[in-house]
Amino acid sequence: MATGLVTHPDCLAHVTPAHVHEQPARLALVLQALEGLPVFRYAAPLASDDSILTLHTPAYLDHIRASVPAEGFTMLDPDTDEETFLSPSSLPALFRTVGGVQKAIDLVLSGELTNAFAAVRPPGHHAERELPMGFCFFGNVALGAKYALGHHGLARVAIVDFDVHHGNGTQALLWDEPRALVITSQQMPLWPDTGDVSETGAHDNVVNVPLAPGTGGKAMRDAYEARVFPRLDAFRPELLLVSAGFDCHAADPLSDLAWVEEDYEWLTHRLCDIADRHCGGRMVSTLEGGYDLDALAASAATHVRVLTERSG
């Protein structure tokens, strides 16, 4: 069995203003860092409108399409953080990011691969049903869960989101979905200021794991051992999806957790253990945040290297 890497050059064509941390260079450096790893490479296809409409509304999809500028940028989130911009070539990137996650799920569920990493952008875990937010437009990973449940007919899919920011979009999109367990760890307090332990979903299917600023890998490991892995074991997912943001890193400019590459290595191994126990190893990980370019590239390479070791 093998590890897959799903990506597409269109994901580099979504450009953002110079002050925005979410830049094409992030993905370019991740791809460079993954060169030489023993992965099978696949092109991310364009997602269908129908698959995006499983969690977003037709009016929202129309709004996104209509907001693509002929030149320059369109800001889509003036009421939240003024960081979410579309550029003239953004649309294929948005659709290929959703499609890339779906392709990775197809490959893993068909048995062609054990696990896969979707190296795509823009990220997705802040996007809500009708709300672009925090560099995100479509709920890439939440849509992946819906696709695995609907298109592939799975009964239980779990998502683990270890990005430093709360996966508010994933949580909101799957709040009412009892077949999805959403577990998200985040620095708190930190933008977007949601993700309290009291937010548990309509079916006790959401688990929030706040981590205090200034704490490091030891606190993360303790929290995952105490609150994350037992919930995953009790849920017995048939597929594990991961929102892999690497902005908990000590070098990241947007946060104050002090994770290092060894923490991502440990966490990836433990998530593979869960996948081995319940899913026949089936795991699909998708790039979310990570804004120190060197730390992002090194951490993503560590994460994917572990995936390749565990699929061999």
Spatial distance between the Cα atoms of 274 and 288, rounded to a whole number of angstroms: 21
Nearest to 70 by CA among 58, 84, 49, 86: 86
| Residue 165 in contact with Zn ion, rule: CB under 5 A | yes
Nearest to 296 by CA among 222, 256, 243, 244: 244
| Residue 177 in contact with Zn ion, rule: CB under 5 A | no
Minimum CB separation of residue 30 from Zn ion in Å reads: 15
Q: What is the DSSP string of 267-284?
A: HHHHHHHHHHHHHTT-EE
Contact in structure between 178 and 213 (CB atoms under 8 Å): no
Place of tokens 């449940």: 149
Among 22, 106, 161, 247, binds Zn ion (CB under 5 A): 247
Spatial distance between the Cα atoms of 184 and 165, rounded to a whole number of angstroms: 9
Could you give the string, one character per residue 271-290, with x where binding to Zn ion holds by CB under 5 A and - elsewhere?
------------------x-
Nearer to Zn ion, 4 or 122 (CB): 122
Could you give the string, one character per residue 11-30, with x where binding to Zn ion holds by CB under 5 A and - elsewhere?
--------------------
Minimum CB separation of residue 289 from Zn ion in Å reads: 3
Query: Three-state DSSP class for 232?
Result: helix
| Residue 252 in contact with Zn ion, rule: CB under 5 A | no
Spatial distance between the Cα atoms of 26 and 21, rounded to a whole number of angstroms: 9
List 14, 56, 125, 126, catalytic entry:
126
Task: Give catalytic status of residue 151 as yes or no.
Answer: no
Minimum CB separation of residue 202 from Zn ion in Å reads: 25
Among 161, 163, 261, 292, binds Zn ion (CB under 5 A): 163
Among 144, 167, 245, 281, binds Zn ion (CB under 5 A): 245
Q: What residues line the site for Zn ion (CB under 5 A)?
A: 163, 165, 245, 247, 289
Which residues belong to the active site? 126
